[in-house]
Amino acid sequence: MPYLNHSSPSSFILTGIPGLEVAHFWIAFPFCTMYFMAVLGNITVLLVIRMDPNLHLPMFYFLSTLAAIDLVLTTSTIPKLLSIFWFQSHEIVFEGCVVQMFFIHGFSAVESGVLLAMAFDRYLAICKPLHYSAVLTSPTIAKLVLAAVVRGLGLMTPLTCMVSSLSYCGPRVIAHSYCEHMSVVKLACGDTRPNNIYGITAATVVVGSDSILIAVSYMLILRAVMGLSSKEARLKSFGTCGSHICVILLFYTPGLFSFYTQRWGQSIPVHLHILTADLYLLVPPMLNPLIYGMRTKPIRERVLNLVSRKPLDPS
């Protein structure tokens, strides 16, 4: 699609999943189902925790924050993606593209920080139970969440400002389902090395530091679990930690795959790369309420009580 050269484009064209255009209509159905499950699950977690004073504890405050972030991540991308797949609505205004990019990358970084805080919470609860309530006070929880938000959004603000200041020429077609940073930068004229260097540095610092600290936390947790005398308690703890680790891997692995494929994965089929990037924004938000929420006994009991319309047990 030809465009006149100019430095401030009015809009971009999102292609969806290149190479799978004929299947867009049918791909949208599982995407819509996962989006519905993600929204329903995370809203349920937020409402249950908000309504039950017994759940106003550090672990559930972190879980509420994670649910809110997942709602932002999915809602900033999936409705537009579905409109591309079902209604051929490929155009997105330049300002909307930059805002979407900020929400995707910014809140992904915030979620990484919250996952780290949740790993720290579990470490204290299992390895240092006597210090748990003294360390994780309400002000401390607020500071941890605020630090995750400030770091995530603070790192991504310069990135979006740099993208906004670039000059664009030629085609305005983004070979992606949403405004991913490098997909947009590839359309720019002139020197884009600062964008590339800053983007890869920010992602590596966030993911590298958080994933290492999360891994250390869970190794300490598993070591403490191995020392439990009860076999039943060990199996229960292993099951919980294993499911948490799986969700964390589902968050980091596709994100890193997508990020580094944009730079050095030219041999990887484009449709595989874009499909993985799309699922990265859907699968973790869909699974988080199930793994962190429904597998947690107090939340599961409250949800079952609400569904069966039984009064809540005050205990």
What CATH number is given to the structural domain containing 175?
Answer: 1.20.1070.10
DSSP string, 218-271: HHHHHHHHHT-S-HHHHHHHHHHHHHHHHHHHHHHHHHHHHHHHHHH-TTS-HH
313 in a structural domain? no
Domain count, the chain: 1
Domain limits at 208? 11-308
Q: Residue 107: which of 70, 132, 67 has the closest Cα? A: 70
6 in a structural domain? no
2 in a structural domain? no
1 in a structural domain? no
C-alpha 239 chain-centroid distance: 23
120 in a structural domain? yes
Contacts of 16 (CB under 8 A, 6+ apart): 24, 81, 84, 85, 90, 177, 274
Residues 61, 146: contact at Cβ < 8 Å? no
5 in a structural domain? no
173 in a structural domain? yes
pLDDT in tens, the chain (315 residues): 343 444 567 889 999 898 888 899 999 999 999 999 999 999 999 988 888 888 888 888 999 999 999 999 999 999 999 999 999 999 999 999 999 999 999 999 999 999 999 999 888 988 888 888 889 998 999 999 999 999 999 999 999 999 988 888 878 899 899 998 888 988 888 788 888 889 888 888 888 899 899 989 888 888 888 776 777 767 777 777 777 787 788 888 877 777 777 666 667 788 888 888 888 889 999 988 888 777 677 777 777 777 776 555 554
296 in a structural domain? yes
Measured CA to CA, the distance from residue 176 to residue 278 in angstroms comes to 9
pTM for this prediction = 0.88
